[in-house]
Amino acid sequence: MAKQVPATKPGVRGSRTGRPIMALLDLLGRRWTLRIVWELREGALTSRALRTACDEASPTILQTRLTELREAGFVELTDDGYGLTGLGRELFATFTPLSRFAERWSKRGGS
């Protein structure tokens, strides 16, 4: 019942379980979050460039997600625009295998 995850906003579902993975799964399971981290993989982007990279997603939600990602410590705003922090790059590294998996998945027999 106790909330053990320290610096996580109350609004992050799953944090109440005390299992960090739940909070992370919830954060990443929001629209555009995974995509943003993915698009920043090769370096910082300005907010506008990120918007372009994210298929013209609405600035409203991008701003919201960027704020969440900044609070989570995955993204930071520098002179070059938005970029992954060290932690953010670690996060990205964990789903690098996902890319290779996606390739295999796309070649599957389908539904």
Partner DNA sequence: CGTGTCGCTACAGTAAATGTAGCAACGAGA
Partner DNA sequence: TCTCGTTGCTACATTTACTGTAGCGACACG
As measured in angstroms, the least distance from the Cβ of 24 to its own copies is: 4
Among residues 5 and 57, whose Cβ is nearest to DNA?
A: 57
Residues of this chain that interact with DNA (CB under 7 A) are 11, 30-32, 46-49, 56-61, 63-64, 66-67, 77, 81-82
| 42 touches, from DNA, its own copies, none (C-beta below 5 to 8 Å by class) | none
Tell me the DSSP string of 17-71.
Answer: GT-HHHHHHHHHTSTTHHHHHHHTTTS-B-HHHHHHHTTT--HHHHHHHHHHHHH
- Give the shortest CB-56-to-DNA separation in angstroms: 6
Question: How many Cβ atoms from other residues are within 10 Å of residue 47's Cβ?
Answer: 14
